[in-house]
Amino acid sequence: MATPPSLCIDKLKQALDAAEIGQHPVEVHGALVGLICGGVEQQGNAWQKALIDLMNDGQPLPNDLQHLITELYQDTVARLGDYEFGFTLLLPEEEVQLSHRVEALALWTQSFLTAIAVIQPKLNSASSDVKEVIKDLAEIAQVEFDVQDDEESEAAYTELQEFVRMSAILCYSEFGPEITPNEDDSKPTIH
């Protein structure tokens, strides 16, 4: 069973605070996903340097924070690479006031856009679908935080969150690694 987002956010927030890094956990996840979806080299540690440059001006991270982020990276790559894992955005859960969740979504989206722009030099020559999605994400990143706590606003937030999630998946499908069928998958299964 996966760790609930609230526990993951809390653990990451504690580690960021202990390291005196003024980032919110959703910003770290947004940047991490932006790097992955932008096509950062997944073999080795290329992603770590890019992320550390974005979140800590290139300064090394304490071991416990680096460990948490590495786990988050591995989980995110697995979820993006296999739709059955169900990629999700690391955002506060429903118990948190809607205006705070909207703010977190905007922060996540801003970090995602920054990271994908840093890692993907061919963003301007992307497909028209990706260009349109990037433009829409830029608008979402500027969304107002003062929202009514009602069913209509909740539904709109859910729709925005799903759009951002699917946009990340679209970017990953365009810039991420080529998916090559595993030879073992093509062999019939014997029961």
Q: Which of 147, 165, 166 is nearest to 156 (CA)?
A: 147
- Is residue 188 situated within a structural domain? no
Under 8 Å between Cβ of 41 and 47 = yes
**Helix, strand, or coil (residue 164):** helix
Q: Read out DSSP for 16-82?
A: HHHTT----HHHHHHHHHHHHHTT---STTHHHHHHHHHHHTTPPPPHHHHHHHHHHHHHHHHHHH-
Position 5 scores a pLDDT of 64
Position 33 scores a pLDDT of 96
Position 143 scores a pLDDT of 80
pLDDT digits (tens, 9 = 90+) for 122-145: 888 899 999 999 999 999 998 876
Query: Is the four-CA dihedral 161, 12, 145, 34 of positive or negative sign?
Result: negative
Position 3 scores a pLDDT of 57
- Is residue 186 situated within a structural domain? no
- Is residue 10 situated within a structural domain? yes
- Is residue 84 situated within a structural domain? yes
- Is residue 73 situated within a structural domain? yes
Position 182 scores a pLDDT of 47
pTM: 0.88
Sort residue 86 into left (φ over 0), alpha (ψ -120 to 50) or beta.
Answer: left
- Is residue 132 situated within a structural domain? yes
**What's 14's domain CATH number?**
1.20.120.740
The DSSP symbol for 156 reads: H
Residues with pLDDT less than 50, the chain: 1, 181-191
Gyration radius of the chain over CA positions: 17
- Total domain count for the chain? 1
Which residues span the domain enclosing 16? 5-177
Sequence-separated (6 or more) residues with CB below 8 Å from residue 38: 115, 116, 117, 118, 119, 120, 123, 171, 175
Position 183 scores a pLDDT of 40
Position 25 scores a pLDDT of 95
Query: Is the four-CA dihedral 72, 78, 79, 80 of positive or negative sign?
Result: positive
